[in-house]
Amino acid sequence: MRYSKPYTLHRRGEVWYYLLRGEKTRHSTGEKSKRKAIDFMDRIIGAPRGARLTLAEFADGFYREGSDYLTRQRSRGRSMGKHSAADRQTHLDRWILPSLGKTLLSELTPVTIERWISRIQRSNQTRNHILLSLRMILRDARRSGLLLHNPADDVEPFGRVFRHRDALSLEELALLFPPEREELVRIWGSGRQAVAYLLMATTGMRLGEVCGLRWEHIRFDIPAVLIVQAVKRDGSIGPPKNGKPRSALLPERTVELLTWWRRATRYPDFVVHGLHGGHGSTSALAHAWGVAAGRAGISVSGRFLGAHALRHTYETRLRGLIPDDALRYMLGHQSIAMTERYDQATPEERVLRIIGQRSALDGLWNEKDRERPE
């Protein structure tokens, strides 16, 4: 008895595409000759290991330092940072392999993957990251000739739902950063932490960027701060997020506190130093936020108001006061859409930003300013 092949070939333009039995999506063979397209299909369908190799056997340690995948990517200039690789290895160890590890590569289907990822009780953004980690693994399996196509490519990502952080009001900022230095230090527990959080509130710097800040990056003559490095989650120092250094203007209030702190501290290297003069700890600095908010009498219950909210507050309070492109540069945002996401202004605050357009609006409806038609 003669059996039909598990695929059909279709020509689109100059290239031949194949359609697997039971699927609706066509995939390119990359070949312009039908004979070569058939040879291509015979090669990948005839790969014997894909029918007997499990996902765990192929992917164990896929994102660990020194793995073949990371070595190959980095040798071609497609660098994946250590903390990013560690995150993807966590996805693999915690979510992917426990559920799909014993599944044969040849038995992974879009439906199987969709059911698995839908059961993970995490945010849509996290599930999309986990799905991407699996997609990259299966892409490499296809490259190795173990899969006919990547089933994860046919799984649609979850919609992105952004939870807007709260921004501090001017009254709350006054409570957190009182003008009296003794009261300021009491609220934050130390001069070092007071300096760190005032920098965040007045420059939009991130926790890691503040912890990586050196005194040589403070330009008192301008005055401005040069944001050229940051402390990463693994404790190493690298470039800021997105890899692009930037700078931000310093208000007089922050310059005064920095001047005092430079005289008061005994460590000449890092502005926000650790116990022995090295760079500060992001986790320790983050912990100080909740304590200081309590001392200042600010309730965080029911609000998305962590330390990163100071960055949102910076954007919200300066929006409309300085040009958007200048604000976007100082925040390190690459798009207007990201800056807009950080803007937590109320409708009343937004309309006050455009109050200067009132005269144009009045002119439109003012009979005296319009020419009457003859």
Instruction: Give a yes or no: residue 360 inside a domain.
Output: no
**Helices first, then strands: H and E counts in the chain:** 18, 8
Is residue 274 domain-shared with residue 205, that is, in the same domain?
yes
Of 18 and 357, the structure prediction assigns the larger pLDDT to: 18
**Which of residues 161, 183, 204 is at a domain's end?**
161
Residue 37: CA count within 13 A, CB half-sphere: 20
Give the structural domain span for 269. Answer: 170-353
Is residue 13 domain-shared with residue 135, that is, in the same domain?
no
What is d(CA 63, CA 88) in angstroms, rounded to the nearest whole number? 6
Instruction: Give a yes or no: residue 362 inside a domain.
Output: no
What is d(CA 109, CA 89) in angstroms, rounded to the nearest whole number? 22
Confidence of residue 7 (pLDDT cuts 50, 70, 90): confident
Is residue 344 domain-shared with residue 239, that is, in the same domain?
yes
Instruction: Give a yes or no: residue 371 inside a domain.
Output: no
Is residue 199 domain-shared with residue 338, that is, in the same domain?
yes
Is residue 186 domain-shared with residue 300, that is, in the same domain?
yes
Name the pTM for this structure: 0.64
pLDDT value of position 276:
87
**Which of residues 139, 161, 183 is at a domain's end?**
161
pLDDT value of position 353:
60
Identity of the residue numbered 96 = I
Residue 115's CATH number: 1.10.150.130
What is d(CA 136, CA 139) in angstroms, rounded to the nearest whole number? 5
pLDDT value of position 345:
63
- pLDDT tens digits, 334-349: 777 666 666 666 677 6
Q: What is the mean pLDDT of residues 246-262?
A: 95
Instruction: Give a yes or no: residue 358 inside a domain.
Output: no
Is residue 34 domain-shared with residue 73, that is, in the same domain?
no
pLDDT value of position 129:
95
For the chain, what is the mean pLDDT? 86
Instruction: Give a yes or no: residue 363 inside a domain.
Output: no
Q: In what order do the strands lie in the sheet with 27-28?
A: 7-12, 15-20, 27-28
Q: Is the pLDDT of residue 3 over 60?
A: no
Instruction: Give a yes or no: residue 361 inside a domain.
Output: no
Residue 308's CATH number: 1.10.443.10
Closest by Cα among 53, 56, 63, 58 to 129: 63
Q: What percent of the chain stands above pLDDT 70? A: 85
pLDDT value of position 35:
84
Lowest-pLDDT choice from 131-135, 150-154, 181-185: 150-154
Instruction: Give a yes or no: residue 372 inside a domain.
Output: no
Identity of the residue numbered 278 = G
Is residue 258 domain-shared with residue 152, that is, in the same domain?
no
- Find out whether 16 and 29 touch, Cβ atoms under 8 Å: yes
Q: Is the pLDDT of residue 147 over 60?
A: yes
Closest by Cα among 222, 225, 215, 311 to 272: 215
Is residue 326 domain-shared with residue 177, that is, in the same domain?
yes
pLDDT value of position 229:
95
First vs last C-alpha separation in the chain: 91
Is residue 71 domain-shared with residue 100, that is, in the same domain?
yes
Is residue 10 domain-shared with residue 78, that is, in the same domain?
no
Q: What is the mean pLDDT of residues 352-366?
A: 64
Count of domains observed in the chain:
3
- Find out whether 238 and 229 touch, Cβ atoms under 8 Å: yes
pLDDT value of position 40:
82
Instruction: Give a yes or no: residue 29 inside a domain.
Output: yes
Burial 313-351 (b: 16+ CB within 10 A, else e): bbbbbbbbeeeeeebbebbbbeeeeebeebbbbeeeeee
What is d(CA 148, CA 200) in angstroms, rounded to the nearest whole number? 51
Is residue 36 domain-shared with residue 150, that is, in the same domain?
no
Is residue 64 domain-shared with residue 190, that is, in the same domain?
no
pLDDT value of position 244:
87
What is d(CA 330, CA 328) in angstroms, rounded to the nearest whole number? 6
